[in-house]
Structure 1
Amino acid sequence: MESREDGREDNQMRQLACERNLLNRADGSARWSQGQSCVLAAVYGPRSTVGRKENPEQANIEVVFKPKIGFAGVEEHELEHVIRKTVEGVVLTSLHPRTGISVILQVLQNDGSVLACAINATSMALIDAGVPLKGLVAAVAIAVQESGGLILDPLLTEQKLARGMVTVAFVDAQPTEAGVPTEADTLTCTTSGLFSADQYLDSLNWGRTACSRIAAFCRVSLERYQRGSQMLA
């Protein structure tokens, strides 16, 4: 097993942190951190739309992804597409026809796994906005090293040295009593680089297990936030 620069085991996540309801003008917001990687998500809507954006059957989803520095380029637009498809796959859009839901993502710090970080921030911001969802979304990245081994939640330096990358998101990834995740819907899976079919399947298994842990963290965070809101009421 190769040592990692931050001392983690290959299958170990970085420390997670989440704060909600940070932006007064947004209907929902969340700041999600995985180690030094941090993304702020703001959700606006569902709100009435007109013209070409109006869909009589379902809500229209828009996603804007802003890098920490500079303007959005090709990479950011690709991430916007992935996140929009993810949101469309989990939001019950048919409950809000002729409306629009906008998700604005601002990268505060990118130290790797930023797509997974952005999806997790989006999931919590949608919940904060009260948008009806099919379930709780959790995402994680897995890197395939030159040696052929896998590492979970890679740093930016680890990503740059990786042979391949897999980012996967699941809906309601819950562990069983035996600690093995139950069947969860694979909502999103993106890949880059070169790796074998076995490495890909192993990455999905690692991702499913990690996402069950992330989902558990999210539920605890939501429960703590709810208790705090009740105390302030």
Structure 2
Amino acid sequence: MSTTTRSDGRTYDQLRDIMIVYEGLDGVDGSARFGFGQTQSLTSVSGPMEVRPNLEQPSQATLDISVRPLVGIAGTDSKALSTNLKAILAPALFLSHHPRTLIQIVGQALCGTESGSGLGSVGKGWNATLVASLINATSAALVNASSVPMKGVICAVSVGRFPSASAATLVLDPSEAELPHLVGGGCFAFLFSSALPLTPSSPDELPPCSLLWTNYTSSVVYDDTELRQAQALAEEGARKVWAAMKESVSNMERTAQCPAFNRFKSAKTESRVKKDTKNLSESEVDDDKMEI
């Protein structure tokens, strides 16, 4: 594994700058934007809420996930990613705590001009780094919503493989500029939870983690040793993502306690109440007209 710097100056095991922003979107219970550099995704979470009878499950909440590309309509790649995201999230959520309800998650790509990532066409839709940003945005949005019980937090990173005549050259978090030069790679998603058993390699300041999902593949032959190396590299990166999420939650809590923020919330709530009252008054007038 090479220790030389890459074209953007990073070492093989270095992530790009992590960005986590809690957007506060209207009409949803939680939202977050997550990015590795310019590779960014936005996710919103709504629920638990009322579910249509044909989707109702008597023993657990219905998890509905849709993924939207940067441009165009959702194609095969986006729909397949929605299915994978549902399989990744289900083990981390206590869906049985809210039976006969709906939890709705909507993910949106915020990049995709250079490499084709985030476009709706088949084969160009979602590279591994963009998938990782979407998974992390979803985890952050669920934490922001705090309405769905969670077993832990899911953190994801991508690993790429450069062509090499000898040992595999693996790099963490490949950028858009590096994607055309890769011969393999994939996304690795880990569940961080204090409920998991401790391992000798678990740092004291972090909860233990376990691999939930990966789509690592290569156009050249690779063995289990390479896969284990890629997983170990990804786990180190995922720990950094978890630390960044923990720090972002602390900042979010401080922001919520800020008087200026509370004044903003109060003004927003007052405006919404006035709007609802106005709508109610208009509705009463209409009812009077109907009675006449």
TM-score by length of 1: 0.92
Structure 2 match to 1:187: 212
- How far is 1:159 from its partner? 2.6
Structure 1: how far apart are the matches of 2:193 and 2:47?
26
SS at match of 2:45: strand
Structure 1: how far apart are the matches of 2:104 and 2:232?
32
Structure 2: how far apart are the matches of 1:87 and 1:43?
13
- How far is 1:196 from its partner? 2.3
Q: Which residue identity does 1:140 align to in structure 2?
A: V
Structure 1 match to 2:183: 163
SS at match of 2:152: coil
Structure 2: how far apart are the matches of 1:192 and 1:142?
10
Structure 1 match to 2:22: 20
Structure 1 match to 2:230: 203
Structure 1 runs (4+) deviating above 4 angstroms are none
Structure 2: how far apart are the matches of 1:31 and 1:144?
27
Distance 1:173 1:151, change over 3 A: farther
Task: Decide which moves more: 153-162 or 128-137.
Answer: 153-162
On the 8 A contact 2:70/2:109 being kept in 1, the answer is yes
Structure 1: how far apart are the matches of 2:179 and 2:193?
25
On the 8 A contact 2:151/2:193 being kept in 1, the answer is no
Unaligned runs of 5+ in 1: none
1:93 aligns with 2:95: yes
SS at match of 1:132: coil
Higher strand residue share: 1
Structure 2 match to 1:227: 254
Task: Give the RMSD, CA atoms, in angstroms.
Answer: 1.9
SS at match of 1:157: coil
Q: Which residue identity does 1:229 align to in structure 2?
A: A
- How far is 1:32 from its partner? 0.7
On the 8 A contact 1:21/1:128 being kept in 2, the answer is no
Distance 1:6 1:44, change over 3 A: same
- How far is 1:86 from its partner? 1.3
- How far is 1:3 from its partner? 4.1
Structure 1: how far apart are the matches of 2:179 and 2:232?
19
- How far is 1:21 from its partner? 4.0
Distance 1:32 1:18, change over 3 A: same
SS at match of 2:215: strand
SS at match of 2:185: strand
Q: Which residue identity does 1:227 align to in structure 2?
A: R
Distance 1:173 1:45, change over 3 A: closer
Which of 77, 81, 96 aligns to 2:83? It is 81
TM-score by length of 2: 0.74
- How far is 1:172 from its partner? 1.4
- How far is 1:27 from its partner? 0.9
- How far is 1:173 from its partner? 7.0
Unaligned runs of 5+ in 2: 116-126, 195-201, 263-292
CA deviations over 1:132-184 (Å, ceiling 9, x no partner): 1111111000011111200101112323322211211111179514x9x7741
1:1-233 maps to which residues of 2 (within 5 A)?
1=2, 3-110=5-112, 113-130=129-146, 131-147=148-164, 148-172=168-192, 176-177=203-204, 183-194=208-219, 195-232=222-259, 233=262
Structure 2: how far apart are the matches of 1:94 and 1:223?
28
Structure 2: how far apart are the matches of 1:211 and 1:173?
13
CA deviations over 1:46-71 (Å, ceiling 9, x no partner): 11212221001111111111111111
